Structure 1
Amino acid sequence: MKFKTTAELEPLKEILGQDKAINAMEFGLSIDDIGYNIYISGETGTGRTTYALEALKNYSRQKDSHLDWCYVYNFENPHEPIALSFQRGVGRKFKKDVDALADNILSDFRNILNSEEYEKERNQILTNYEIQKQMLIQQIKDYGKEKGFNFKSTQSGIVFIPIDENVDSNSKEFLESKIEIENMTIGIISKIKQLEEDAKNKIASLEESIAISVVDPYIKSLIKKYGKNSKVKKYLLNMREDILNNIYIFYMDDEELQSIDEREYFLKYKVNLFIDNGKEKNIKNAPVVLELNPIYPNLFGKVEYENDKGVIKTDFTKIIPGSIHKANGGYLVLYINELLKSPYSWDLLKRTLQFKKIQIDTATSMKPEPIPLDIKIVLIGSQYLYDLLYYYDEEFSKYFKVLVDFSTEMARNEENELKVARFISNYCNKMNLKHFTYDAVQVVLKHSSRLAQNRKKLSTRFNKIKELIIESNLFADRRNSEFVDKEDVKNAIYEKINRINKIEKKLDEMYQNNKLLISLGGKKIGVINGLSVISMGEYSFGRPAVITVTTSPGHKGVINIEREVRLSGAIHDKGVLILGGYLLENFSKEVPVSITSHICFEQSYSCIDGDSASSAELYALLSSLSEVPIKQNIAVTGSVNQKGDIQVVGGVTEKVEGFFNICKIKGLTGDQGVIIPKNNLDNLVLTEEIENAIKNGLFKIYPVDRIEEAMEILTDTTFEQICDRINKRLKKFYEMSK
């Protein structure tokens, strides 16, 4: 790499070290099928979410199926609001036009009702009615006089009074005349009522014609503008019919309107703009939605309610969209662990995918019309959760066919080293931080390999690299330096460890005060220094563990003391049982292996698991059987199989460093070291202090492939001699056990 500082480099903006994942993501996004949703697995900090959102943002430019959605009143079934779809940006225009409709009709209708022309036509109808009514009443009066009666109107009706006060009211002629006049009056009143009804019908017809003349231009205008959608056209025609059927509301004055619930009545002529994709700057880009809290209402929407004097009310304008509605036509990103925490959300998501419709379930009789589903769902989670869902949820593999697996490491080569430097350059620019010198980048690269636990790899957990960049800047600031140098990075690494290594320091103190017993010199039979790793959150460190073995004649075989007291895990138990297999394979050809052997981790008071101490246990067992002492200045790690091959183990760097630190506390002698599996060499990424100690001959690493090699290093005795001593002793044990 040819640069002095990262300021000279072109910033890296693409994802790094995830070629396989990128190919899988592109494959999944290229298939438009409801079953090809995507599951992104990998560890936190590998850039899963950042990459997913960036990739979806790029693909969103190619997808063009997202729509605006409105919920409107259903005039045929008020409990089932209708969902109407529109092209992007049209939904808000439709809402504006329809919301203004009722106000415009009310205003126009009142203007006409207050006009002279309307008053004239209405008064003409009423005048004609009055004239005809008076003519009929006059007929009654005239006929009454003809028969000798006067006409008089009272609250109880029409009364006929004889003109001649002396007439005999009981005479036949009087009674017949009175009955005749009353019958005629009944007929005339019936005609008057008919005239009144006709006048009312004429006024109603006049108002209806006015209403049609007012309403139809608005409705026709809306149909012309939005009526290409047959569903919208039907809604507008139903609205027209409802307005005309209830036109009396529109000619109420303000005082009369206050006597009814004006808002609730006119609400059915409003529009709920449910999804507005026209408000975005790039409305052509399909929506990309990240839902961090996928509880049911956030994911699938809800219906809000209001308390009106103790009565719970709701309506179609209170239907609220969920993130799946907002992402419809585009992409929805969810964290699977959060999704599974929320009751019902996971099952309802699968049901939505199955029926390809988004249904809002409510606690009332309101059932909003489902919206068709057009979406690509991206789940982000661990490999562990993916495996659980794949094996225990038969529907999971049906709807999530694409696995995008993020790796935690990448090859350490010149190309990737330069890309990491460019990544540092980009992050420094983005966060306005000091740039790194060439030497500082080298320290970051080594730290990255340490995170990957492999000298030939670099970590892709870039959140850890970001933390190191930020913290290194702090130390550069303290020096008032223009750039971050290697010492700043080293200080940042050291200080972070120093903040979280309280337990390690406590153990160091116990070794120093001889509260934890360990020998780092001389030789002992059946005693060896094994190595273990202690994990404390994000920090792990290695520590030696004194392993002792005793043997005697008997038939119980190899006894794991930790197992007997239930302080041993299954993998550790397996490792101990392998020791018995190795003994039978190599030492039971002449006589049966008749021993009782006890293996113990001294001063260990917590559960032990893993098989990385199995080789150390075997060395101590062979030492005890052969009575050949083992060097205490060499610690051991490695797994062993029944054939005597040394197998790789985890945490080899921490184990070597842990033993080195104890040696440094007790005093480096120059002959101390660690035996490790040869195949673990690439996993060693040691601190600069230990590297220098090795170069100066103060500390040694012994890579081995076989038990024989390690035993000769530990005892300075040939393995053939050791085996000869073991066979002789086993024969003695056999004779004694008989």
Structure 2
Amino acid sequence: MQKFKNTSEIEVLDEILGQERAIRAMEVGLKIDNSAYNIYVSGHSGTGKTTYTLKALNKYSVGKARHKDWCYVYNFEHPRDPISIGLKIGLGKVFKKDIEKLIEALLDELKDAFESEDYELGKNQLLESYDIEKESLLKEIKKYGEERGFKLKNSRLGMVFVPLKEDYEEEVSDEEFYKTKRELEHMAIQTVYKIRDIEDEAKEALLGLEEEIGRFIIDPHIDELSEKYKEYEKVVQYLKNLRDDILENIFLFYMDDEELKDKVDKDHFLKYRVNLFVDNEDEKTNSSAPIIVETNPSPANLFGKIEYDYYNGNLKTDFTKIIPGAVHKANGGYLVLYADQLLRYELSWDMLKRTIQSKKIIIDTNTSINPESIPIDIKVILIGSNYLYNLLYSYDNDFSKYFKIFVDFDNEMNKNEDNEMGIARFIALQCKKNNLKHFTYDAVQEVINFSTRLSGDIDRLSTEFNKIMEVIVEGNTYAEINNSEFVDKDDVKMAINEKRKRLNKIECKMDESIENGFTLIDTEGQRVGVINGLSVLSTGEYSFGRASRITATTSIGNRGVINIEREVKMSGSIHDKGILILSGYLSENFAQEYPLSMNASICFEQSYGGVDGDSASGAELYAILSSLGGIPIKQNIAATGSINQKGEIQVVGGITEKIEGFYYTCKNKGLNGNQGVIIPKNNSRNMILSEEVNNAIKEGMFHIYTVNNIEEAMEILTDMKFSEIKSLVKERLDSFAKLRDTSK
């Protein structure tokens, strides 16, 4: 890494670090324009997968605006099925305002027109002509009746004829009188029908006049809007249906408010509104595709909903209450979801797959309206763990159909000059972005050492930048406490050590138990069938190594190796496997001439929380061989490493924590320069030890022994040649076999 005084002198990091594989996968996924090529982004928490995903989307979405504004409007032909209309970005709000202005203008203009003198004059002239025709009919029948000696009279029953003279009935015969009266009554009925026809004609003519005036006022507005939106067939058709509905209900536009209350529902004019469903006006200036991150992907939040009101004890809704979801807002762009949150809602996951398959968004509703679906053009990015990816891939047949791109973030990267400089630039970025004190060169080196320790490999660096960020922030805090101009090496060390102290309560309690003699661990002397094994315990984010006394007893019998933890159901399956492998090694090396005749009991002493893993299988074998051969094992040396059936020592995890755990145990009980740890040779690169432990090793106060096989480890533990050890073990097993044969 190039030399610098502090991070203010170097360029800040503007890219993701150590994720070349993930970057290539993301680029391919974003370039493929296919609805099946959605993306699953996986990796450990803190590796920057979410930050990078959003950054990549922001970069890639520029100039790729294919999204629209979306509106819902009233369906005049099928009122229960609102119509969806897609418009170019920014035009949705304009269309909504245009319709509002149209209705406002028509309310004013039509009211003025129907309250004008010209309309009243034309209406009166029209009605007068029909009144004249009605009067002519009445005069005609009245005259005819008088000529026949009857006069026309209105009564509660309608028009009736009565004699002009009181004695008229006496002057003519009864037959003639009733004949004439029936004739006149028949004529009266016919006249009433004609008058009704005339009145109907008058109404039709009046409606025709209203429509003529309405068209004269409405059509110019409709024609103007139709021309403005001529590229949108659905808008033009909507405007035509809107005009026809207004003409049909034109009386509502000139009636007084009081009259309207009596004659029509208060929400009548609601159908002339526009529901601006998705408004992308803010996006029109940058011409980028939308990027929507939904952190609570419930069905309603993803796919929208229809709200409703209680009205007179009933549920009531309409097209203006259709609410968009994240999928609608992301249409034409990218939808980012977190897999663990999405899978909390089984319906959301099913609906998302159905939406991707059908390429349209359907609002799932139980209300009285059924909105028209909207076509979908979207790329979904799921962010989650490898565990969830494997589950979905294995158990959901649709997952591999719709999520064909796997972007896998690594939790470590190569330790080289470029990546070390990348961490320095990352620190520079965080100092600049968060207004922190800059780090000196030595402080950066200490952060790099911390990153190496996180990776668990001297040739690797961790990409869990959230944990690195914690050290940066807390190191800055200690620099502020010390009134330092820059964050130095000691500030970083303080941050790391103080965090350890905040988290290591359980470790301290266990140390106290050893110091007080409650937990039996020897770090000096020799014992037969007893060895110090090493394990790693975790409490939340903090892990630490711990020495555990492993004991073995052997006797004549035929039960083989007995795992006491397994017998009491405190053993995990991997530990059980290790015990069986141990039996395989014993069989190959000591049971070729006759059956293995022994009972061997293995136990983790003072272990109350269960045991799993096979990293202690080597130590367990050492204890059994010690017990069988009566060979004392050094208690100042602890051992870790798993074995295979051929006696080879295999790598294990947590090697740093295990070594440090035994070191601090020995330190608390008294370092004597003879203590140390046996580890698998291939684990050497995984030792990233603290400065204190490294110094103790350099000074010869603590030792690390690396081995390839059982033979090397037993020789270190016993100071005996393995051939001698094997001979003693075989001699004991031979005696077991003879005793067993004698007892038969």
Name the CA shift for 1:528/1:186 in 2 (closer, same or farther; >3 Å).
Answer: closer
* CA distance in structure 2 between the partners assigned to 1:281 and 1:461 by the alignment: 37
Secondary structure of 2:652's match? coil
Render the CA deviation track for 1:457-510: whole Å, top value 9, x for unaligned.
Answer: 111111111111111121111111221111111111111111121111110101
Render the CA deviation track for 1:286-324: whole Å, top value 9, x for unaligned.
Answer: 111111111111111110001123121000111111111
Aligned equivalent of 1:56:
57
* CA distance in structure 2 between the partners assigned to 1:567 and 1:187 by the alignment: 108
Secondary structure of 1:341's match? coil
Counterpart of 1:503, as a letter, is: I
Cα contact 1:296–1:343 (8 A) shared by 2: no
Instruction: Say whether residues 1:627 and 2:623 are aligned partners.
Output: no
* CA distance in structure 1 between the partners assigned to 2:314 and 2:338 by the alignment: 39
Cα contact 2:11–2:425 (8 A) shared by 1: yes
* CA distance in structure 1 between the partners assigned to 2:612 and 2:138 by the alignment: 115
Larger displacement relative to structure 2 (497-506 or 91-100): 91-100
Q: Choose which of 280, 296, 301 in structure 2 pairs with 1:298.
A: 301
Larger displacement relative to structure 2 (163-172 or 415-424): 163-172
Question: What are structure 1's unaligned runs of at least 5 residues?
Answer: none
Cα contact 2:89–2:284 (8 A) shared by 1: no
Instruction: Say whether residues 1:88 and 2:103 are aligned partners.
Output: no
Aligned equivalent of 2:585:
582
Q: Choose which of 476, 479, 501 in structure 2 pairs with 1:476.
A: 479
* CA distance in structure 2 between the partners assigned to 1:584 and 1:71 by the alignment: 78
Correspondences of 1:204-283 after superposition (within 5 Å): 204-261=207-264, 263-280=266-283, 282=285
* CA distance in structure 1 between the partners assigned to 2:702 and 2:712 by the alignment: 19
Secondary structure of 2:712's match? helix
Larger displacement relative to structure 2 (392-401 or 119-128): 119-128
* CA distance in structure 1 between the partners assigned to 2:436 and 2:513 by the alignment: 42
* CA distance in structure 1 between the partners assigned to 2:583 and 2:162 by the alignment: 137
Name the CA shift for 1:260/1:44 in 2 (closer, same or farther; >3 Å).
Answer: farther
Secondary structure of 1:622's match? helix
Q: Choose which of 405, 408, 413 in structure 1 pairs with 2:411.
A: 408
Aligned equivalent of 1:284:
287
* CA distance in structure 1 between the partners assigned to 2:25 and 2:136 by the alignment: 95
Instruction: Say whether residues 1:14 and 2:15 are aligned partners.
Output: yes
* CA distance in structure 2 between the partners assigned to 1:164 and 1:717 by the alignment: 158
* CA distance in structure 2 between the partners assigned to 1:164 and 1:630 by the alignment: 151
* CA distance in structure 1 between the partners assigned to 2:546 and 2:377 by the alignment: 56
Aligned equivalent of 2:68:
67
Aligned equivalent of 2:421:
418
Name the CA shift for 1:158/1:523 in 2 (closer, same or farther; >3 Å).
Answer: closer
Aligned equivalent of 2:534:
531
* CA distance in structure 2 between the partners assigned to 1:312 and 1:427 by the alignment: 54
Cα contact 2:69–2:91 (8 A) shared by 1: yes
* CA distance in structure 2 between the partners assigned to 1:300 and 1:19 by the alignment: 35
Render the CA deviation track for 1:111-165: whole Å, top value 9, x for unaligned.
Answer: 1112222122112122333344444444445445545555544444445555555
Cα contact 1:591–1:730 (8 A) shared by 2: no
Aligned equivalent of 1:467:
470
Name the CA shift for 1:591/1:140 in 2 (closer, same or farther; >3 Å).
Answer: closer
* CA distance in structure 1 between the partners assigned to 2:148 and 2:631 by the alignment: 155
- Quote how far apart the aligned CAs of 1:219 are: 1.6
Secondary structure of 1:259's match? helix
Aligned equivalent of 1:705:
708
* CA distance in structure 2 between the partners assigned to 1:594 and 1:135 by the alignment: 135
Correspondences of 1:499-514 after superposition (within 5 Å): 499-514=502-517
Counterpart of 1:97, as a letter, is: D
Larger displacement relative to structure 2 (265-274 or 188-197): 188-197
Aligned equivalent of 2:121:
120
Aligned equivalent of 2:101:
100
Instruction: Say whether residues 1:606 and 2:609 are aligned partners.
Output: yes
* CA distance in structure 2 between the partners assigned to 1:156 and 1:452 by the alignment: 106
- Quote how far apart the aligned CAs of 1:729 are: 2.5
- Quote how far apart the aligned CAs of 1:195 are: 3.7
* CA distance in structure 2 between the partners assigned to 1:12 and 1:384 by the alignment: 30
Larger displacement relative to structure 2 (129-138 or 496-505): 129-138
Cα contact 1:68–1:89 (8 A) shared by 2: yes
Name the CA shift for 1:78/1:428 in 2 (closer, same or farther; >3 Å).
Answer: same
Q: Choose which of 668, 673, 690 in structure 1 pairs with 2:671.
A: 668
* CA distance in structure 2 between the partners assigned to 1:46 and 1:256 by the alignment: 69
Name the CA shift for 1:143/1:564 in 2 (closer, same or farther; >3 Å).
Answer: closer
* CA distance in structure 2 between the partners assigned to 1:732 and 1:154 by the alignment: 139
Name the CA shift for 1:599/1:249 in 2 (closer, same or farther; >3 Å).
Answer: same
* CA distance in structure 2 between the partners assigned to 1:171 and 1:590 by the alignment: 154
Aligned equivalent of 2:48:
47
Cα contact 2:306–2:367 (8 A) shared by 1: no
- Quote how far apart the aligned CAs of 1:283 are: 5.2
Aligned equivalent of 1:33:
34
* CA distance in structure 2 between the partners assigned to 1:628 and 1:450 by the alignment: 37
* CA distance in structure 1 between the partners assigned to 2:307 and 2:705 by the alignment: 71
Q: Choose which of 343, 346, 350 in structure 2 pairs with 1:343.
A: 346
Counterpart of 1:82, as a letter, is: I
Cα contact 1:42–1:48 (8 A) shared by 2: yes
Secondary structure of 1:205's match? helix
Render the CA deviation track for 1:150-193: whole Å, top value 9, x for unaligned.
Answer: 55444444455555555454623766665565555555555444
* CA distance in structure 1 between the partners assigned to 2:55 and 2:587 by the alignment: 59
Larger displacement relative to structure 2 (606-615 or 338-347): 338-347
Aligned equivalent of 1:392:
395
Q: Choose which of 550, 555, 567 in structure 2 pairs with 1:552.
A: 555
- Quote how far apart the aligned CAs of 1:657 are: 0.6
Q: Choose which of 355, 371, 375 in structure 2 pairs with 1:372.
A: 375
- Quote how far apart the aligned CAs of 1:235 are: 2.0
Larger displacement relative to structure 2 (186-195 or 680-689): 186-195
Q: TM-score, normalised by structure 2?
A: 0.95
> When the two structures are aligned, how many residues end up with a matched partner?
738
